[in-house]
Amino acid sequence: MLMAGLGIFLAGSLVGALVDDVPLVVAARALMGLGGALVMPLALAVVPALFGPGERTKAVGLVSAASALGALIYGIIEAPVRGWGDPLVIAMLAGAVVLVAALVLRERRMVRPMLDMTLLRDRAFFLNTMASTLVLFVLSGLLFVLPQYLQAVLGNDAFGTGVRMLPMMGGLLVAAKGAEPVVRRFGPRAVISGGLVVLAFAAILGSRTDVHSGYGHTALWLSVAGLGFGFAVVPAMDSALGALPVERAGSGTGLLMTVRQVGSALGIALLGSLLAGAYAGRIDTRGLPGPAADAAGDSVVAAHGVADRLGSPRLAGSADAAYLHGMDLVLLVSGVAALVTALLVAALLPRR
């Protein structure tokens, strides 16, 4: 099944790389999603069977370092544009509640459930799963706001933007390699909560970014964020898997990865909505034609495109300031969320 998932994902990747039509790209991405749905849970499901307790943390760290919901997400994303009282938004959110409830009820009745909800009764598995999910929630917010800042505000191209995000991977790789001895010495509870505190510090440091901050400031807090993420998520995932018997590793990993993906998607949707609202409320589009004002209010990238066409450096400067206001707000909220999660982990998670 793992090999089949990799093959499907590869086929979708090749199709997406070769076509030049948007609907075909969307179809290729859907095919990649099918393959990814097989790969993501199974990649971790084999870890407890292949590695003993002494090596499992390192293996989970490597898997985490290498990997970077339907109606609910759509409703959250559309709410800042349409308004929370819009009929479509209300319908999507209500539909999400119904679908999630139907999924839970169906899975509870199945002899071999796709998502075994009974695993959440295990306190260690549940708390570690929630910890790793909340870490992904915070991290998704960081990764959502950063590329637009590096590309639109600082003026890097797409490749340069990707290169400038590598400090986070450096910190993550260091943490993934160093997590095992640290967990052995201090226990997962201390390491997870400590990693979350470091992640919170990085996000709050990032929230101090202004229009005069250079890339050096960004590289610093990105590296710290990678360290915090690695020391928080690797022990949390390892402890969650270690709480289950080997024969339930597959279903447990599927549930763990599903909850993590939901947390990541919710992080992007909620924090992205916060960013969009803050940006739209701060940018100055006075004097622009209606379509140009609407485009500039949608995103900082579009605003720079409008500013270039109209020859308006004032609009570009206003867009940069507005985006940084929204980005700083998102990073501050992410930092507070990470700090609250650290306190909950320290209070509730078993020491061993």
pLDDT, tens only, 82-128: 777 788 888 888 888 888 788 778 777 777 766 677 777 777 888 88
Q: Which residue has the higher pLDDT, 200 or 246?
A: 200
Whether pLDDT at 10 is above 90: yes
Sign of the C-alpha dihedral computed for residues 193, 253, 93 and 68 taken in this order: positive
Contacts of 198 (CB under 8 A, 6+ apart): 224, 227, 228, 231, 232
Sequence-ordered list of residues with C-beta below 8 angstroms from that of 42, at least 6 positions apart, any chain: 1, 2, 5, 250, 253
d(CA 2, CA 84): 41
Q: Percent of the chain, pLDDT > 70?
A: 89
Task: Give the pLDDT confidence of 269-294 residue by residue, as tens digits.
Answer: 788 888 888 888 888 888 888 888 88
287 in a structural domain: yes
Q: In this structure, is residue 328 part of a structural domain?
A: yes
241 in Cβ contact with 59 (< 8 Å): no
For 60-88, b where at least 16 C-beta lie within 10 A, e where not — what string? bbebbbeeebebbbbbbbbbbeeeeeeee
Answer whether residue 5 is part of any domain: no
**Across 63-77, 82-96, 316-330, which has the greatest mean pLDDT?**
316-330
Please state the domain count of the chain: 1
In a domain, 57, yes or no: no
- Does any domain span residue 241? yes
Q: What is the pLDDT of residue 31?
A: 94
Q: Compute, in degrees rounded to 10, the torsion defined by CA atoms 194, 199, 201, 205.
A: 170
Which pLDDT does position 68 carry in this prediction?
Answer: 42
CATH number at residue 296: 1.20.1250.20
In a domain, residue 21? The reply is no
Please tell me the distance from the alpha carbon of residue 202 to that of residue 206, in angstroms, as a whole number: 6
The domain in which residue 216 lies consists of: 122-348
Provide the 3-class DSSP secondary structure of residue 187. Answer: coil
Residue 165 lies in a domain: yes
Q: Report the mean per-residue pLDDT for the chain.
A: 82
Residue 145, domain member (yes or no): yes
Q: How far apart are CA 267 and CA 73, in angstroms?
A: 10
Contact between 135 and 267 under an 8 Å Cβ cutoff? The reply is no
Q: What global pTM score does this model have?
A: 0.73
Q: What Cα–Cα distance (Å) separates residue 340 from each residue in 134, 259, 334?
A: 10, 19, 10
Q: Are the C-beta atoms of 45 and 71 separated by less than 8 Å? A: no
125-148 core/surface letters (b: 16 or more CB in 10 A; e: else):
bbbbbbbbbbbbbbbbbbbbbbbb
